[in-house]
Amino acid sequence: MPRRADAPGRGAGAAALPQPDGHWGRDLDAGWLNPAYVALGSNLEDPRAQVERAIDALEGLPDSRLVLRSSLYRSRPLGPVEQPDFVNATAGLLTALSPAELLVELQSLESRLGRERPAVRWGPRRIDLDLLVHGAERRDEPGLTLPHPGIADRAFVLVPLAEIAPDLLVPALGRVRALLALVDDSGVERIAP
């Protein structure tokens, strides 16, 4: 089951609801909030801990609230390189950041979490944070394609995304549960709540 990311005492919880005075906090009062979805993946140096640490770190993103986090899944590596299995997950945010601002924040989080450029293309990595969807945005710019071009054919994205947002309409592609029905998800196994 998807969990609301609002365990008591963990920052995003209290903030996921308006504060007692009816405000979200100064940062979120000024503009519209968009739902955004992020995919996480790791297959190096205790991947499970890496993904958990990254989800926790999403709680600290500026002008944003983490509202949904999926379970963790073990998945067979996609791509031509032989490498260890991945741990994957997804998270749902409400954000006042634009897609470009959110992308910068995610990239800076990756660096702070010790991500280095993988030595080989398609090779193993300590942490990946991919922006999947940002509201109804469709973009095709260098470095920013929305929705993320890998969504429709990646079971390791669709399985955890279907857990937290099965009815999400991915712009131009369709609902998550319909996309999931079209892929082979046999290599993706839930490992932790």
Question: CB of residue 63 vs ligand ROI: minimum separation in angstroms?
Answer: 26
Note if 130 is an active site residue: yes
Question: CB of residue 24 vs ligand ROI: minimum separation in angstroms?
Answer: 32
Q: Could you tell me if 27 and 96 are in contact, meaning their C-beta atoms sit under 8 angstroms apart?
A: yes
- Our CB check for ligand ROI shows the closer of 24 and 156 to be 156
Please state the φ and ψ torsions of residue 187, each to the nearest 5 degrees: -90, 10
- Our CB check for ligand ROI shows the closer of 92 and 160 to be 160
- Our CB check for ligand ROI shows the closer of 6 and 130 to be 130
Question: CB of residue 83 vs ligand ROI: minimum separation in angstroms?
Answer: 7
E strands, 32-168, in order: 34-42, 64-69, 72-75, 86-95, 128-134, 139-141, 144-146
Residue 134 DSSP SS3: strand
- Our CB check for ligand ROI shows the closer of 79 and 135 to be 79
Note if 125 is an active site residue: yes
Interface ranges with ligand ROI (CB under 6 A): 41, 75-79, 86, 88, 122, 128, 156
Cα 133 to Cα 38: distance, rounded to the nearest angstrom:
7
Alpha-carbon torsion, ordered 35, 128, 25, 67, to 10 deg: 50
Question: CB of residue 38 vs ligand ROI: minimum separation in angstroms?
Answer: 12
Note if 184 is an active site residue: no
Catalytic, out of 65, 69, 125, 126: 125
Catalytic, out of 69, 115, 126, 154: 115
Element (H, E) at 159: helix 155-164
Token readout for 145 is 């394609």
Catalytic, out of 130, 175, 177, 185: 130
Question: CB of residue 57 vs ligand ROI: minimum separation in angstroms?
Answer: 17
Note if 138 is an active site residue: no
- Our CB check for ligand ROI shows the closer of 77 and 99 to be 77
Closest CB to ligand ROI: residue number: 41
Of 112, 141, 114, nearest in space to 126 by CA:
114
CA torsion through residues 49, 50, 55, 56, sign: positive
Could you give the residue numbers annotated as active site?
115, 125, 128, 130
